[in-house]
Structure 1
Amino acid sequence: MSTRPPTPTADSTAPAHEAATEQQDGPGLKAGLKNRHLSMIAIGGVIGAGLFVGSASGIAAAGPGILVSYALVGVMVVFVMRMLGEMAAANPTSGSFSAYADRALGRWAGFSIGWLYWFFWVVVLAVEATAGAKILEGWVPAVPQWGWALIVMVVLTATNLASVASYGEFEFWFAGIKVVAIAGFIVLGALAVLGVLPGSHDDAVGLANLTAHGGFLPNGPGKILTGVLLVVFSFMGSEIVTLAAGESADPRRAVTKATNSVIWRIGVFYLGSIFIVVALLPWNDPSIAKDGSYVAALNSMGIAHAGQIMNVIVLTAVLSCLNSGLYTASRMAFSLGRRGDAPKAFARTTGRGVPQAAILGSVVFGFVAVFFNYRYPDTVFLFLLNASGAIALFVWLVICFSQLRMRKIILAEAPERLRVRMWLYPYLTWATIAMIVFVLGYMLTDTADGGGRDQVVVSVLAALGVVAVAVVRQLLHKGRKDSPTRS
């Protein structure tokens, strides 16, 4: 396992302060991720636990039209990933879009979106640890739920502390199980729809369920947008591969491959599996809300013990999300520390190339969030959830604006690195920005308790607070540089 050589001095697209810091921090991260790790991280990154447990509410709202909701969000994510892939293929770095925002929009932007993204994932740690603990407590009730949450967090923290290769190996198998499960579900579902799967219900044959129960849009076309709000956050995680690529032997090849494959990944795993659900069952079938969309679909196919099978798959998805969430948060903290926007300890690595302080700092906040989830679920933790609710959309917006500027920088300084190009630049970039802004605006119309409006308002307040800190730090730094040196 070789140590990655310092690249920023030769990399004209990296921020100057990042280059200086990386040189003085010793060996840095190591290229411990293999091609098979990166491939599975790229595939599994778009399959979150939200796909398995959150799709029922979207189907209830939009009926079979939820397919349009998934397609709209999928197109938006494909465009965002294409923009991120363009920048990441030109300059792979552990800070990914935060480092590109730093370079393209200013240090305040890199600081702000980096810390917001870190905050998002440490809150996710608490959510996923609790979800996994509930499943495990159902299997082994002798261990309390908080005990299972603690065990899960400790095990995955130890995995990440061991080496990046151990993270990659765990994620390879976690993601592999998710991929096999979804692929098997789609194949069996397609056989049931075609009427050739023994044991499946006769009314599941054909595509009549797409239109027979009030039409394709039984609740009206406006519910497509409601569906968008319900499914948009289940796509978060697609960008993880651009952070992980920096610790592979050939990061540019890995990023290019992942970017080019995002269309089929979203098409197959999201649209394909949801299509099977709404084709097999009437959208208003009570079992979808009662058992969950995938369990209900498996039951309609005559699959025995469907609930327990799905619990195993959901637990795998939860552990995968926890594993990747801790990895992602720590690498963002590492990048912030390397750029001087976080404690210097976060930028230090062990002899195995692991940013130990960044991992421990992230998991400590995750443990605190887990405590709040058990002790103050309807106050403090609800605030944390709402504060992180719209950050995914903020990240995508920053990626769009960064790409508008970075394309010109790359062309001016290193045009040969432009291996991946955003289609129809800059028109599709601006169209994507408009789509994201529209979704944020539409969220403000969702006035339900803990709904879209609460998430946007609290997330904006949190973002403004972080931006204010960034601006003040930048002004103080500029003031120190401009002040005369005392003799």
Structure 2
Amino acid sequence: MIAFGGSIGTGLFLGAGSTIHKTGPSILLIYLVIGIFFFFMMRAIGEMMYSDPQQHTFVSFIGKYVSPRFGIFAAWSYWAELILAGMAELTAISTYLKYWLPGAPSWLVQLVFLAVLTLVNLSMVRSFGRSETFLSGIKIVAILVLILVGAYLIATHHQNPAGTHASLSNLSEGFTFFPNGFHSFINAFPMVFFAFQGMEFVGITTAETKKPLKVLPRAVNQIIGRILLFYIGSLFIIMAITPWRSLSQSQSPFVQIFELAGLPAASQIINLVVIAAACSTLNSAIFSTGRHLYQLAQESSGKTLKPFETVSKSGIPYGSVLFSAGMMILAPIISSFNGLGTAFTFIASISSDIYILVCILTMVAHWKYRRSKDFRADGFKMPHYKWTNPLTVALFVGIFITLFFNKETILPAVGALIWLIGFNIILSITNKRKKLTT
């Protein structure tokens, strides 16, 4: 459910119209390809977590098997990325709630939701699991309803208001792989890649389960199939109900399909769902950032991060959870200033691009793990890693390269490279100074 919470969010409910517009039915193939390679990455993470389930974050393996410097880079970059993701979801929640409460102050809405979900994370881990199950359940029910309603419309050959009919032929009629050109097809890959972001949350919770070695393999093997079913299944139904070119980019395709079905409360339903989706992602972000900061504090030799090592009787790293949630309070401040809002959007885009670099480093760490003395021959092994690992790295590198061929993504991609190079230069200088002083 944590992986559902991280992976199935506003990108599907609101952003699917944009991805469909770029490639049409070919988007199903892109989701399948990205989903398969995300499964390979999850198996790589799962294998390393299985060998050492006490690690609270998968990025710790980058420092262990690639290099300490890249480990620090990946850990802080991923923590910052999740903080920004949480802030973005807070902003989204206040925007969605204005549909019902147009006069409610955005900053107050954001503070209330942040406070409630922080309290959930500060209670027992069981409370977090239950809340995430409930929030993810709302999204899953919405998708299942869409699939069932869509299947009924297709079976009855429903006539749409525009005069078209619901039919499987809508997927094949006039089909071409590149309806808007090869460039649009390639640009859809990063969009789909980021839609799967959050699936790695499964590995983060391993150390806090009662039987991690039993839970982890089952969770990893099941999650990818279920997510592909929900993503591909819902998009397949949407494009079968109505010709994909008739879908609006600005409006959620879920709303459009429910309206075609004659459900006047469609917008109300979807607004509730997207709020649940945003809360679910925010809930997972608070949980994950707290664990990441806790791990960073444990691995740090300095005294600055020591307060973040504090753990409650129920095993919650409350110091790191409170600090991470506190950083997200910047969201209501930023939303009050238009200029800062634009800057935040740009920084969030850079952070998303850095996520690709972290994924690449994760696969490199797995490759080196397989050649280390820690390798467990009886472990939860990644299948055929000698070719699945390099292929996964090649795809991730290829997706990052495509960012430089789109005017909307080139500047954030350059920013991600500057962050990578600059961060490592600063670490190198800091290490040299430490050696000189000692």
Match of 1:182 in 2: 143
Match of 1:372 in 2: 334
How far the C-alpha of 1:56 sits from its partner, in A, is: 0.9
State which of 309, 319, 325 in structure 2 corresponds to 1:347: 309
State which of 48, 67, 70 in structure 1 corresponds to 2:9: 48
Deviations 1:177-227 (A, max 9, x none): 112222222222223222278999984432121133564542234432121
How far the C-alpha of 1:360 sits from its partner, in A, is: 1.8
State which of 256, 260, 280 in structure 1 corresponds to 2:241: 280
Deviations 1:119-149 (A, max 9, x none): 0011111110011111112212332122111
- Contact 1:188–1:197 under 8 Å retained in 2: no
Deviations 1:237-257 (A, max 9, x none): 000010011111011222111
Same amino acid, percent of matched pairs: 28
Q: Structure 1 stretches of 5 or more lacking a match? A: 1-39
- Contact 1:373–1:381 under 8 Å retained in 2: no
Match of 2:427 in 1: 470
1:64 and 2:33 equivalent? no
Q: After the TM superposition, which residues 163-182 of structure 1 pair with which residues of structure 2 at under 5 Å, given as runs?
A: 163-182=124-143
**CA pair 370-110 structure 1, distance change in 2 beyond 3 A:** farther
SS in 1 for 2:195: helix
How far the C-alpha of 1:475 sits from its partner, in A, is: 4.1
Match of 1:28 in 2: none
Match of 1:123 in 2: 84
- Contact 1:127–1:370 under 8 Å retained in 2: no
- Contact 2:57–2:291 under 8 Å retained in 1: no
Looking at structure 1, the residues matched to 374 and 24 of structure 2 have their Cα atoms a distance apart, in angstroms, of 50
Deviations 1:254-309 (A, max 9, x none): 21112211331232011111111111121121x53242111112222233311111
One-letter identity of the residue aligned with 2:114: M
One-letter identity of the residue aligned with 1:242: G
Match of 1:453 in 2: 410
How much is the aligned-residue C-alpha RMSD, in angstroms?
2.3
1:423 and 2:383 equivalent? yes
Looking at structure 2, the residues matched to 311 and 158 of structure 1 have their Cα atoms a distance apart, in angstroms, of 24
**CA pair 74-168 structure 1, distance change in 2 beyond 3 A:** same
SS in 2 for 1:188: helix
Q: After the TM superposition, which residues 281-320 of structure 1 pair with which residues of structure 2 at under 5 Å, given as runs?
A: 281-285=242-246, 287-320=247-280
Looking at structure 1, the residues matched to 381 and 96 of structure 2 have their Cα atoms a distance apart, in angstroms, of 43
**CA pair 130-413 structure 1, distance change in 2 beyond 3 A:** closer
- Contact 1:49–1:321 under 8 Å retained in 2: no
SS in 2 for 1:97: coil
Q: After the TM superposition, which residues 94-113 of structure 1 pair with which residues of structure 2 at under 5 Å, given as runs?
A: 94-113=55-74
Looking at structure 2, the residues matched to 46 and 478 of structure 1 have their Cα atoms a distance apart, in angstroms, of 43
Of residues 80-89 and 181-190 in structure 1, the stretch that sits farther from structure 2 once superposed is: 181-190
Deviations 1:9-29 (A, max 9, x none): xxxxxxxxxxxxxxxxxxxxx
Match of 1:263 in 2: 224
**CA pair 263-125 structure 1, distance change in 2 beyond 3 A:** closer
- Contact 2:18–2:250 under 8 Å retained in 1: no
Of residues 40-49 and 329-338 in structure 1, the stretch that sits farther from structure 2 once superposed is: 40-49
Q: How many residues align?
A: 435
One-letter identity of the residue aligned with 1:292: S
- Contact 1:213–1:282 under 8 Å retained in 2: no
Looking at structure 2, the residues matched to 435 and 214 of structure 1 have their Cα atoms a distance apart, in angstroms, of 26
Match of 1:158 in 2: 119
Deviations 1:336-378 (A, max 9, x none): 1011177111121122322122112212221124422432345
- Contact 1:201–1:300 under 8 Å retained in 2: no
Looking at structure 2, the residues matched to 76 and 240 of structure 1 have their Cα atoms a distance apart, in angstroms, of 16
Q: Structure 2 stretches of 5 or more lacking a match? A: none
**TM-score, structure 2 as length reference:** 0.92
One-letter identity of the residue aligned with 2:421: L
State which of 86, 95, 98 in structure 2 corresponds to 1:137: 98
Match of 1:238 in 2: 199
Looking at structure 1, the residues matched to 366 and 145 of structure 2 have their Cα atoms a distance apart, in angstroms, of 37
**TM-score, structure 1 as length reference:** 0.84
How far the C-alpha of 1:381 sits from its partner, in A, is: 1.3
